A and B are shown apart, each in its own frame.
Chain A
Amino acid sequence: MVQFHLDSTSGVPAYLQIVQQVRQAISLGVLRPGDQLPTIKEVVGSLAINPNTVVKAYRELDLAGILDARRGQGTFVSDDVEGSPDHDYAPLRAELVKWLSRARGAGLDDEAIRALVASTLRTELSVRAVA
Chain B
Amino acid sequence: MTVRSALSCEGLGKRYGSTWALRDCTLRIPAGSVTALVGPNGAGKTTLLQLAVGMSAPTAGEIEIFGWSPQREPQMVLPRIGFVAQDHPLYRGFTLADMLSFGRRLNARWDEKLARRRLDSLGLQLSQRVGKLSGGQQAQVALTLALAKRPELLLLDEPAAALDPLARREFLQALMEGVAEEGVTVVLSSHILADLERVCDHLVILSRAHVALADSTEEIARSHRLLTGATRGVDEIAQLHSVVHANTTDRQTTVLVRANGHVYDSHWQVSNVDLEQIVLAYLALDPVRTPEQPVMSA
Please give the residue numbers on chain A whose beta carbons come within 8 Å of chain B beta carbons, in ascending order: 6, 8, 11, 13-14, 40-41, 44-53
| Interface contact B173-A46, CB-CB below 8 Å | yes
- A8, A14, A50: which contacts B179 (Cβ < 8 A)? A50
A107 to chain B, nearest CB (A): 30
Given contacts A41-B180, A45-B173, A45-B176, contact A53 B274 (CB under 8 A): no
Chain B residues contacting A53 (CB-CB under 8 Å) are 198, 201
| Interface contact B173-A8, CB-CB below 8 Å | no
Q: Is B199 an interface residue (CB 8 A)?
A: yes
| Interface contact A45-B198, CB-CB below 8 Å | no
Chain B residues contacting A11 (CB-CB under 8 Å) are 272, 274
A54 to chain B, nearest CB (A): 8
Given contacts A44-B177, A51-B176, A51-B179, contact A8 B169 (CB under 8 A): no
Given contacts A8-B197, A14-B198, contact A48 B274 (CB under 8 A): no
| Interface contact A50-B272, CB-CB below 8 Å | no
User: Can you add 8 more A-B contacts, CB < 8 Å, to A49-B176, A49-B199, A53-B198?
Assistant: A11-B272, A11-B274, A46-B173, A47-B198, A50-B201, A51-B179, A52-B34, A53-B201
B218 closest partner in A (C-beta)? A13
| Interface contact B201-A52, CB-CB below 8 Å | yes
20 contacts between A and B (CB under 8 A): A8-B197, A8-B198, A11-B274, A41-B177, A44-B176, A44-B180, A45-B176, A45-B177, A48-B169, A48-B172, A48-B173, A49-B198, A49-B199, A50-B34, A50-B201, A51-B176, A51-B179, A52-B34, A53-B198, A53-B201
A6 closest partner in B (C-beta)? B198
Interface size class of chain B, counting residues whose CB lies under 8 Å from the partner chain: 10 to 19
A45-B173 Cα distance, complex, nearest whole Å: 5
Q: Kindly count the residue-residue contacts between A and B in the assembled complex, taking CB atoms under 8 Å apart.
A: 46
| Interface contact A50-B199, CB-CB below 8 Å | yes
Q: Is B235 an interface residue (CB 8 A)?
A: no
Chain A residues contacting B53 (CB-CB under 8 Å) are none
A50-B173 Cα distance, complex, nearest whole Å: 9
A14-B53 Cα distance, complex, nearest whole Å: 32
B295 to chain A, nearest CB (A): 22
| Interface contact A50-B177, CB-CB below 8 Å | no
A53-B217 Cα distance, complex, nearest whole Å: 12
Q: Is B250 an interface residue (CB 8 A)?
A: no
B198-239 near A? 1/0 per residue, CB < 8 Å? 111100000000000000000001000000000000000000
| Interface contact A44-B198, CB-CB below 8 Å | no
A51 to chain B, nearest CB (A): 4
Please provide the chain B residues from 240 to 298 with a CB less than 8 Å away from any CB of chain A in the complex: 272, 274
A47-B201 Cα distance, complex, nearest whole Å: 15
Chain A residues contacting B179 (CB-CB under 8 Å) are 44, 50-51
Pick the 9 closest A-B CB pairs, nearest first: A51-B180, A48-B172, A48-B173, A44-B176, A49-B198, A41-B180, A44-B180, A45-B177, A50-B199
Chain A residues contacting B169 (CB-CB under 8 Å) are 48
Chain A residues contacting B180 (CB-CB under 8 Å) are 40-41, 44-45, 51
B170 closest partner in A (C-beta)? A48
Chain A residues contacting B197 (CB-CB under 8 Å) are 8
A44-B186 Cα distance, complex, nearest whole Å: 15
| Interface contact B201-A44, CB-CB below 8 Å | no
A14-B221 Cα distance, complex, nearest whole Å: 13
Most buried by B among A6, A45, A51: A51
A15 closest partner in B (C-beta)? B218
A41 closest partner in B (C-beta)? B180
Chain B residues contacting A14 (CB-CB under 8 Å) are 198
Chain A residues contacting B200 (CB-CB under 8 Å) are 50
Chain B residues contacting A41 (CB-CB under 8 Å) are 177, 180-181
B114 to chain A, nearest CB (A): 14
Chain B residues contacting A49 (CB-CB under 8 Å) are 176, 198-199
A11 closest partner in B (C-beta)? B274
A51-B272 Cα distance, complex, nearest whole Å: 25
Chain A residues contacting B177 (CB-CB under 8 Å) are 41, 44-45
